[in-house]
Amino acid sequence: MFELLITLVERVGIIVTIAFVLTRLRFFRKMFYQDQLNRQQTLTAIMFFAFFGIIGTYTGLNVNTESLQFNRWATELMTEEAIANSRVIGIVIAGLLGGPKVGIWAGVIAGAHRFTLGGFTGIACGVATMIAGVISSLFYRKNKRIKLKTAFFVGAFAEAVQMLVIVALARPIEQAWALVNLIGLPMILANGIGSVLVLLVIKSVLKEEEKAGAVQAQKTLRIADQTLVYLRNGLHIEAADAVCRIIHKELNTSAVSITNKTEILAHIGLGHDHHQQENPIQTKITVDAIETGKIQMATAEAIHCTNADCPLEAVIIAPLKERGEIIGTLKFYFQSENDLTNVNMELISGLSSMISHQLEIGQAERVYQLAKEAEIKALQAQIHPHFLFNTLNTIVSLVRLHPVKARKMLISLSHFIRQNLSAATQKITTLEQELKQVQAYLSLYEERFKDKLTVKYVIDEEVLSEIIPPLTLQPIVENAVMHGFKDKDSDCILEVRIKKQQKGVYIGIKDNGKGIEKEVVNQIRRKPVDSKSGSGLALYNVNRRLNILFGEEALLQIETGQDEGTNIYFVLAHKEGEEQWVS
């Protein structure tokens, strides 16, 4: 029995070696570095682990159930022969990492293969392999790391179940008992140990990917820190040249190039003698990247360089975007097609997203500067510097890992700033535009304080065409967020209500914050209030404009109490047959 255990462990070493080689393949790394597999990746994973199971069968030992002697390798099976093997290792890992679909189907394929080999335990081992897929799937936990002791337990348990199935199905039962007594304990231990070793190999691959991702993130952050200053004024020749030099130095690339939609803005690295600034774009692959908005890969044949001696044999091209529109490309050149790897694809994808977001941030900053130059009147709400700074910081932190969220925040920030800027020249706006402004403002806070702030909207769509002074709602909302929720760490609820009433349109902002002291409420509608947390100027200005334009019946009403929240509302009365505004 001890000799059999040692031999089985040696065969497990073969499985582990094969696993080490196969997990170095690109498709494996791509497949298991994602949170969720698509259909093609699921099929690939099923075949991958079924193949592991089949290898485990062929690396087993032939056991004669009559003489209880075993041969060194599993070849053709006679009726009285069985196989002591490590087949369940692949199936167990399939279920633990891939879940029910991968585990069960890998078990079915490997089990069906074992059944075709026949022998004394052909049916029993085929059925047991399928059961192993089910057992391992029961221990699958999405997005949670599998512990080594769990792998050992499941591998050993699945093999123990196989021994029970052999006793239950193989006949004559005396030979089945004798076989289980001989191979049971060694196979249980060997497959438990093998499951741990294969899991360790796979974990090492994932750790390498995480480490590579961390290194890329560090490099990307360094690049972001250095390039932002150049991209604040948009994408032009000087900025593109500086960015290409920074990327080339940080990543030690063969060559880096940036184009706009028609010409090369910068090219740093090999081939710079003929890939020159202001030359027109000549390759169709670059045009395709601009037209489709998708990353493109190309070899020397598709690049079609005009210089026959060009050392650049491959390229990855990623589009650059600003406000959702393609404005150019970022290109990484390589000296070999072997460099067209998934790692490089992810790297250039991340860098192109980062540069795109930096361009949008630069645009937002330019809009902010224009807003300052326009000297928006004190009656109109200003963008709080800390709000802008914190929002941009949040966006920068999301650019690498969650570019879609970062882009969404940039769009909201851009809309918010544009609305503030346009308020400098507008006398009137609609409730619909005011609501969009509030939604953009609050969406930024919701992203930053995802577990803290909940916003509810109760809106009658039919009244959104009503006219209102610009920046009326946003200062009220800002007051609730900045002051009402100042000392609350969670469960902050803000309700924006716009409802049609018999007397007019009810517009209210309600929060469950700390409330406003009554003496402050009485003053806030008459004059700015001296306070450590603020002057109350925003609410005073809103109230003053409502009074001038709609009369006293439209003044702010404040329902509040200490630690009871605040409801600030006003009513726009109907004035049939009378124009309220003159623009």
Evaluate if residue 582 carries a pLDDT over 50: no
| Joined tokens for residue 229 | 């200053």
Residue 560: closest CA among 516, 530, 496, 523: 516
pLDDT for residue 29: 61
Evaluate if residue 562 carries a pLDDT over 90: no
Mean pLDDT (the chain) is: 82
Evaluate if residue 549 carries a pLDDT over 90: no
CB atoms within 10 A of CB 572: 23
CA–CA distance, 231 with 399 (Å, rounded to integer): 15
pLDDT in tens, 369-423: 544 443 334 344 445 565 677 778 878 878 877 888 888 888 888 877 777 666 6
User: What is the per-residue DSSP string for 254-319?
Assistant: SEEEEEESSBEEEEEETTTTTS-TTPBP--HHHHHHHHH-S-EEEEHHHH--S-TT----EEEEEE
Residue 122: closest CA among 174, 176, 70, 73: 176
Q: H or E element: which one contains 362? A: helix 342-373
> 212 vs 172, which has greater pLDDT?
172
Q: How sure is the predictor about 47, in pLDDT bands with cuts at 50, 70 and 90? A: very high
pLDDT for residue 75: 58
User: What is the per-residue DSSP string for 157-200?
Assistant: HHHHHHHHHHHHHSSSHHHHHHHHHHHHHHHHHHHHHHHHHHHH
pLDDT in tens, 109-121: 999 999 999 889 9
Q: What is the CA radius of gyration of the chain?
A: 34
CA–CA distance, 121 with 119 (Å, rounded to integer): 6
Residue 34: burial class (beta carbons within 10 Å; 0-12, 13-18, 19+): exposed
> 184 vs 218, which has greater pLDDT?
184
Q: Which amino acid is at 167?
A: V
Residue 236: closest CA among 256, 257, 255, 260: 260
Q: Which amino acid is at 181?
A: N
User: Which CA distances in Å does 115 have to 95, 129, 136, 265?
Assistant: 21, 10, 20, 64
pLDDT for residue 381: 41
CA–CA distance, 199 with 134 (Å, rounded to integer): 18
Asked if 524 and 539 count as a contact pair (C-beta separation under 8 A), the reply is: yes
Asked if 539 and 475 count as a contact pair (C-beta separation under 8 A), the reply is: yes
| Helix, strand and coil in the chain, % to nearest 5 | 55, 15, 30
Which pairing describes strands 492-500 and 504-511: parallel, antiparallel, or unpaired?
Answer: antiparallel
How many angstroms from the chain centroid is the CA of residue 227?
24
Residue partners of 496: CB distance under 8 A and separation at least 6: 435, 438, 442, 455, 456, 457, 458, 459, 473, 477, 508, 509
CA–CA distance, 514 with 16 (Å, rounded to integer): 61
CA–CA distance, 127 with 131 (Å, rounded to integer): 6
Mean pLDDT, to the nearest integer, of 237-247? Answer: 92
CB atoms within 10 A of CB 487: 9
Evaluate if residue 1 carries a pLDDT over 80: no
pLDDT for residue 334: 86
Residue 4: closest CA among 75, 77, 69, 54: 69
> 26 vs 108, which has greater pLDDT?
108
pLDDT for residue 508: 94
pLDDT for residue 209: 67
Q: How sure is the predictor about 19, in pLDDT bands with cuts at 50, 70 and 90? A: confident
Q: How many CA atoms lie within 13 A of 506 on its CB side?
A: 16
Per DSSP, the three-state class of 233 is coil
pLDDT for residue 458: 94
Residue 265: closest CA among 171, 330, 344: 330
Question: Strand pairing partners for 269?
Answer: 255
pLDDT for residue 137: 93
Q: H or E element: which one contains 304? A: none
pLDDT for residue 149: 92
Question: Strand pairing partners for 64?
Answer: 81
Asked if 139 and 133 count as a contact pair (C-beta separation under 8 A), the reply is: no
Residue 441: closest CA among 404, 482, 469, 400: 482
Comparing 144-153, 281-290, 441-450, the range with the smallest average pLDDT is: 441-450
The dihedral through the CA atoms of 297, 299, 304, 307 has a sign that is positive
pLDDT for residue 109: 96
Mean pLDDT, to the nearest integer, of 491-519? Answer: 89
**431-448 and 385-399 helices cross at what angle (nearest 10)?**
60
CA–CA distance, 193 with 199 (Å, rounded to integer): 10
CA–CA distance, 52 with 238 (Å, rounded to integer): 55
| Joined tokens for residue 454 | 């909940």
Mean pLDDT, to the nearest integer, of 174-203? Answer: 91
User: Which CA distances in Å does 417 have to 137, 339, 468, 555?
Assistant: 51, 42, 19, 27
CA–CA distance, 408 with 430 (Å, rounded to integer): 24
CA–CA distance, 400 with 403 (Å, rounded to integer): 6
Residue 552: burial class (beta carbons within 10 Å; 0-12, 13-18, 19+): exposed
φ, ψ (nearest 5 deg) of residue 151: -60, -40
Evaluate if residue 552 carries a pLDDT over 70: yes
pLDDT for residue 370: 47
CA–CA distance, 456 with 453 (Å, rounded to integer): 10
Residue percentage of the chain with pLDDT more than 70:
86
* Straight-line distance from the first to the last Cα atom of the chain, in angstroms, rounded to the nearest whole number: 97
Kindly state the greatest CA–CA separation across the chain.
108
> 260 vs 371, which has greater pLDDT?
260
Mean pLDDT, to the nearest integer, of 81-101? Answer: 90
Q: How sure is the predictor about 136, in pLDDT bands with cuts at 50, 70 and 90? A: very high
**DSSP assignment letter at 77:** P
Residue partners of 41: CB distance under 8 A and separation at least 6: 30, 31, 34
